[in-house]
């Protein structure tokens, strides 16, 4: 029997590399003829994983983490027709059946058939269907023909694997945030958050032709990272209100559109920049976005947060000033990114050198046994996107 190892959530603040089962082409007791087994080439640590590891969700002990997966097909089920053993593939973090009404219109983030508890599923994520995660050596991917994106040339792909690994989540997610905020040529955009998603969003805004991309955060290294590829930055530790800081950059206190790349663990501005204020990014986005503008919200909001500071927030009820957004006729776009809508085009943008996405988010490749340290460093605010290389195929 083949061996497998994966990163498991143990308790708040602790993950561990454990020996885990080698995947089977099965879903429970049922054979999964439409699935494949992947030898994982690259699998990334995400801010979404951090919500679980910080104890801010109901993730169970022992959950094998990891939803950002790129791998080599080593076994294909009987009914897989168009993906072959030996293919190098990117796995969208959303698990989608390709058969339900939502999948049929490209809403793969809310597939109706892959999670008995609610629409939408992901590998290695709480409330997302119980699928085994891919921060591991091997993983099973169902509905392979529908889900997987095959790279056209393996050698070319391995040469750009640091960029291509970001296609499983944060590049499409950042891009989706920009698209749903209506970013286009000449746009002036405020991106809240300079974590990997915020940086991927900022780089996507440039790809879409934005004139000015302003990134706000309270971690100086992350703001430096945003500056390194041409963004304007706002340090939210300063007391000056966000709108005034925006006016210092563009002469007026409002932007065309905004993207929330922070989510429910947001902290306040100025003196409150160390204190959690879960609705602050949404309220700030409404304050600084022009009337008629749109707000993309890839940042995650939850239906249950055991670590929240108020009873209301424990149920996901936040103090959002919806009257302001209504008065300004804002549009809001929430939810998981339907990765498949974008991954092929963004793959080509990488392969034809239209974007340096790994450089923008500052990818650092680490071995599987260094994953717990990667989690710690990321939690401390490292201006990096950690990519796990479980078989040493990238580093060696
Ligand atoms: N919708 C999706 O499909 C999807 C996919 C991936 C990640 N996400 C979510 O996107 C969010 C960002 O992910 P990440 O990996 O970049 O996480 P991250 O935790 O590394 O980044 C969040 C950043 O926001 C900053 N921040 C905190 N409060 C702020 C505020 N008020 N204004 C501006 N910045 C503030 C933090 O300092 C941090 O740098 C997370 O909530 C994650 O769960 C969503
Ligand atoms: Zn992710
Ligand atoms: Zn579906």
One-character DSSP codes across 134-178: SSBSEEEESSHHHH-EE-S-HHHHHHTHHHHGGGGTHHHHHHHHH
State pLDDT tens for residues 342-354: 999 999 999 999 9
Helix (H, G, I), strand (E, B), or coil: what is residue 230?
coil
341 DSSP assignment:
G
Sign for the pseudo-dihedral over CA of 192, 53, 113, 118: negative
Please state, as a whole number, how many other Cβ atoms lie within 10 Å of the Cβ of residue 152. 10
Mean pLDDT of 165-169: 98
What is the 67 CA–ligand 2 centroid distance (Å)?
A: 6
Q: Compute the average pLDDT of residues 24-49.
A: 97
196: Cβ below 6 Å to ligand 1? yes
185 Cβ neighbours under 8 A, 6+ residues apart: 208, 209, 210, 211
Q: Is the CB of 219 under 6 A from ligand 1?
A: yes
Tokens found for residue 272: 């409150």
pLDDT band at 274 (very low <50, low <70, confident <90, very high): very high
pLDDT for the residue numbered 304: 87
134 lines ligand 1 (CB under 6 A): no
The answer to whether the CB of 108 falls within 8 A of the CB of 340 is yes
Q: Region 50-65: what's the mean pLDDT?
A: 93
CA-nearest residue, atom 9 of ligand 1 = 299
Asked if the model's pLDDT at residue 1 lies above 70, the reply is no
Q: For the segment 293-330, what is each residue's pLDDT rounded down to a tens digit? A: 999 999 999 998 888 989 999 999 999 999 999 999 99
Ligand 1, from 65, 195, 200, 283: best to mutate by most atoms within 8 Å of Cβ? 195
Predicted TM-score (pTM) of the model is 0.98
How far is Cα 113 from Cα 240, in angstroms, rounded to an integer?
Answer: 48
**Cα dist. 108→57, 125, 225, 339 in Å?**
23, 16, 31, 8
Atom in ligand 1 nearest the alpha carbon of residue 194: 39
Two structure tokens written together for 232: 């304007």
Nearest-CA residue for ligand 1 atom 42 is 48
Mean pLDDT of the chain: 97
Q: Which residue lies with its CA nearest to atom 24 of ligand 1? A: 193
- Summarised one tens digit per residue, pLDDT across range 174-200 is 999 999 999 999 999 999 999 999 999
Structure tokens at 110: 């809310």
Residue 138 scores a pLDDT above 70: yes
Tell how far the Cα of 333 is from the centroid of ligand 1, in angstroms: 16
> Where are the strands (E) in the chain, listed by range?
5-11, 14-19, 26-27, 30-31, 36-44, 69-76, 88-91, 138-141, 149-150, 188-192, 212-217, 232-235, 257-260, 294-296, 331-333, 363-366, 385-388
CA distance 388 to 372: 11
The ligand with the least distance to the CA atom of 97 is 3
C-alpha 134 – ligand 2 centre gap (Å): 11
Residue 249 alpha carbon to ligand 2 centre in Å: 31
Q: Please give the Cα distance from 394 to 396 (Å, whole number).
A: 6
Using the mean position of ligand 2's atoms as its centre, give its distance from the Cα of residue 291 in Å.
Answer: 31
Q: Compute the average pLDDT of residues 100-127.
A: 97
Q: Contact at 8 Å (CB) between 159 and 110?
A: no
Whether the Cβ atoms of residue 142 and residue 95 lie closer than 8 Å to each other: yes
Looking at residue 309, what is its pLDDT?
Answer: 86
Angle between helices 343-351 and 170-180 (to 10 degrees): 110
The answer, yes or no, to whether residue 66 has pLDDT greater than 80, is yes
pLDDT at site 194: 98
The 10 Å Cβ neighbour count of residue 176 is 26
For residue 129, which ligand has an atom nearest its CA?
Answer: 3
Strand pairing class (232-235; 14-19): unpaired
- How much is the CA Rg of the chain, to the nearest whole Å? 20
What is the distance between the alpha carbons of residues 49 and 170, in angstroms, rounded to a whole number?
A: 13
Q: Are 48 and 155 in contact (CB under 8 A)?
A: no
Q: Could you tell me the pLDDT band of residue 83, with boundaries at 50, 70 and 90?
A: very high
Q: CB burial class (10 A; 0-12, 13-18, 19+) of residue 158?
A: middle
| Atom of ligand 1 at shortest range from CA of 216 | 33
């Amino acid at each position: 029997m083949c061996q497998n190892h994966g990163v498991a959530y143990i308790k708040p603040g602790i993950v561990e590399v454990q020996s885990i089962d080698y995947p089977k082409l099965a879903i429970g007791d049922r054979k999964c003829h439409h699935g494949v087994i992947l030898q994982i080439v690259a699998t990334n640590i995400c801010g979404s994983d951090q919500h679980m590891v910080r104890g801010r969700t109901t993730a169970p002990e022992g959950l094998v983490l990891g939803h950002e997966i790129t791998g080599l097909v080593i076994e294909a089920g009987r009914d897989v027709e168009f993906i072959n053993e030996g293919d190098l593939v990117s796995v969208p973090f959303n698990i989608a059946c390709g058969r339900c009404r939502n999948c049929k219109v490209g809403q793969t983030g809310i597939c109706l058939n892959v999670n008995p508890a609610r629409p939408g599923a992901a590998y290695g994520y709480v409330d997302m269907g119980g699928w085994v995660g891919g921060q591991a050596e091997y993983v099973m991917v169902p509905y392979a023909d529908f889900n997987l994106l095959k790279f056209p040339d393996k050698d070319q792909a391995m040469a750009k694997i640091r960029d291509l690994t970001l296609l499983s989540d944060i590049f499409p997610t950042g891009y989706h945030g920009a698209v749903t905020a209506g970013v286009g040529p000449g746009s002036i955009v405020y991106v809240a958050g300079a974590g990997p998603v915020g940086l991927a969003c900022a780089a996507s805004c440039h790809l879409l032709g934005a004139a000015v991309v302003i990134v706000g955060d309270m971690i100086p290294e992350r703001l430096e990272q945003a500056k390194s590829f041409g963004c304007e930055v706002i340090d939210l530790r300063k007391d000056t209100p966000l709108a005034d800081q925006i006016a210092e950059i563009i002469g007026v206190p409002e932007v065309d559109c905004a993207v929330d790349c922070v989510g429910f663990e947001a902290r306040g501005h100025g003196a409150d920049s160390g204190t959690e204020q879960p609705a602050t990014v949404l309220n700030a986005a409404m304050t600084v976005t022009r009337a008629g503008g749109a707000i993309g919200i890839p940042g995650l909001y939850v239906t249950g947060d055991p670590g929240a500071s108020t009873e209301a927030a424990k149920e996901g009820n936040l103090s959002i000033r919806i009257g302001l957004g209504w008065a300004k006729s804002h549009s809001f776009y929430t939810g998981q990114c339907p990765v498949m809508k974008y991954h092929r085009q963004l793959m080509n943008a990488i392969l034809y050198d239209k974007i340096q996405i790994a450089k923008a988010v500052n990818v650092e490749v680490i071995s599987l046994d260094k994953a717990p340290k990667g989690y710690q460093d990321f939690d401390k605010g490292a201006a990096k996107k950690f990519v796990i290389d479980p078989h040493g195929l990238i580093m060696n």
